[in-house]
């Protein structure tokens, strides 16, 4: 990808500041930032409640699972970075993620093959939101040059029609005009939150104007291996919001019978639970100024 597109407009409108003064997504084509986002937004809006459209986001955790941990010479202290990469290459420790997933070493080879298959399916029917950018913090740029070659080698389709920047999903749900995706919508939440958190999310979404909110609970540590039962969901559904770590790819593909948009929103689910939170350096927050606790 030769082109660079500023993402300064996303979230609070000064995203570059949170990323060390620069945040530019890689792009296949020369395109204006708002034009790229509006194209994505229009596609999502058109498919709400109409047809299956999965959107899966990938950043350092997903890349590390696929390609192993890569050395970032900008991450300090360097000795800690070096030892972390060395330990990862030994393959002697249980695989775990920041989301809480944990997998046995004996299962990793099979899980990786299944994960690649899941990515192939999503790439052919929806969008891949990739963290592939130039930023002032040099955060996770160590994977930039490896993503396209890995995808090509593993037959994961990646082009200007199915690739969006990682941050677009959160901007869709929190930026200007986001009420389109909440007001009068029948929403399905898929995550591992407990009853208290689920009730608070339902309350907050109803305050945003949602018509109904349903939940499918998944495991806290094994989302790559989870099986969900869509027959338990009262249809139709307008929008599925999924927070499942790396295993969100597995979950998104199982939501196809619902024939609607399915978004991997990751940590933004925490903002829907607690409106006082902000993620990605404070760039994204709950789409209202406040929401009362129940």
What string of DSSP letters covers 117-162?
HHHHHHHHHSEEEE--EEETT-TTGGGHHHHHHHHHHTT---STTT
C-alpha 247/C-alpha 265 separation (Å) is 12
Full strand arrangement of the beta sheet holding 3-6: 3-6, 23-27, 133-135
DSSP state of 175: S
Residue ranges of alpha helices (H) inside 48-132 are: 60-67, 78-90, 108-125
Task: Give the separation between CA 60 and CA 83, rounded to whole angstroms.
Answer: 17
Q: Which helix (H) or strand (E) holds 25?
A: strand 23-27
Q: How many CA atoms lie within 13 A of 212 on its CB side?
A: 10
In terms of Cβ atoms closer than 10 Å to its own Cβ (0-12, 13-18, 19+), residue 292 is exposed
Only one residue has tokens 């499942």, namely 244
Query: Residue 291 has what pLDDT?
Result: 44
pTM: 0.91
- Tell me the pLDDT tens digit for each residue of 161-192: 999 999 999 999 999 999 999 999 999 999 99
Question: Nearest 5°: phi and psi at 129?
Answer: -95, 100
Q: Residue 106 has what pLDDT?
A: 85
* CA angle at 90 for the pair 117 and 114, rounded to the nearest 5°: 10
Q: What is the per-residue pLDDT across 266-282, written as a single tens digit (0 to 9) for each?
A: 999 999 999 999 898 88
């Amino acid at each position: 990808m030769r082109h660079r597109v500023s993402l300064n407009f996303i979230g609070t409108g000064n995203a570059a500041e949170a990323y060390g003064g620069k945040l530019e997504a890689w792009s296949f084509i020369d395109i204006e930032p708002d034009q790229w986002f509006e194209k994505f937004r229009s596609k999502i809006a058109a498919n709400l409640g109409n047809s299956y459209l999965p959107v899966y986001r990938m950043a350092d955790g997903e890349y590390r699972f696929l390609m192993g941990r890569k050395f970032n010479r900008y991450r300090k202290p360097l000795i800690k970075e070096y030892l972390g990469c060395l330990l990862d290459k030994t393959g002697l420790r249980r695989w775990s993620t920041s989301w809480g997933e944990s997998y046995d070493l004996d299962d990793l080879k099979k899980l990786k093959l299944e994960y690649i298959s899941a990515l192939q399916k999503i790439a052919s029917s929806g969008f891949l939101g990739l963290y592939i950018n130039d930023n002032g913090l040099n955060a996770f740029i160590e994977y930039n040059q490896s993503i396209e070659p890995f995808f090509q080698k593993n037959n994961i389709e990646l082009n200007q029609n199915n690739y969006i920047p990682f941050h677009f999903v959160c901007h869709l749900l929190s930026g200007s005009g986001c009420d389109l995706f909440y007001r009068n919508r029948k929403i399905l939440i898929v995550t591992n939150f407990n009853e208290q958190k689920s009730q608070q999310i339902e309350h907050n979404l109803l305050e945003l104007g949602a018509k109904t909110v349903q939940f499918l609970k998944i495991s806290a540590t094994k989302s790559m291996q989870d099986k969900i039962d869509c027959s338990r969901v009262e249809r139709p559904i307008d929008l599925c919001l999924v927070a499942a770590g790396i295993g969100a790819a597995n979950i998104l593909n199982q939501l196809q019978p619902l024939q609607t948009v399915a978004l991997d929103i990751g940590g933004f689910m925490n903002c829907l639970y607690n409106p006082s939170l902000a993620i990605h350096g404070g760039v994204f927050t709950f789409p209202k100024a406040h929401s009362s606790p129940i």
